[in-house]
Amino acid sequence: MRTLPYLSLATLLVGTSATVLAAIPRTPAPEGAQVYFIETEDGATVGQTFTVKFGLKGMGVAPAGVDAPATGHHHLLIDLNDEPAMDMPLPMTDNIRHFGKGQTETQLTLPPGKHSLQLLVGDKNHVPLDPPVISEKITVIVQ
């Protein structure tokens, strides 16, 4: 049967890819680093489009891909029940928004209802720092 060598090769490649992804080193977080919301308070009632401003203490902001000491960039977690994997690059989804250009604020549009927001700092490769620099989860009510 000719499919067996191809199946074995495919299995080897998938296994290798998983090993490579698992081998991504995590960047140490500066001691005492904190990420927090400057604007949009916990429990706020907001319109469907509202401003969210990110704060960072104890480290600097740098775009993704920039390898500068004690820096990272913001990711906004929206309505996540479980934290994402902290040892892998964060996926880019509707629930995990990347601010890899070094942005420190955004205009966010959400449907009416109750929503949770949380900030997470990633390194140059979008991998959360070690230990994670993550904010408290806040709740907003969108009208």
pTM (2 d.p.): 0.84
Given a cut of 50, whether residue 1 has pLDDT beyond it is: no
Give the mean pLDDT of the chain. Answer: 89
Q: Using CA atoms, how far apart are residues 128 and 135, in angstroms rounded to an integer?
A: 12
Quick check: 76 and 37 in contact, CB under 8 A? Answer: no
SS3 state at 130: strand
pLDDT digits 0-9 by tens, 17-69:
444 455 578 999 999 999 999 999 999 999 999 999 999 999 999 999 999 99
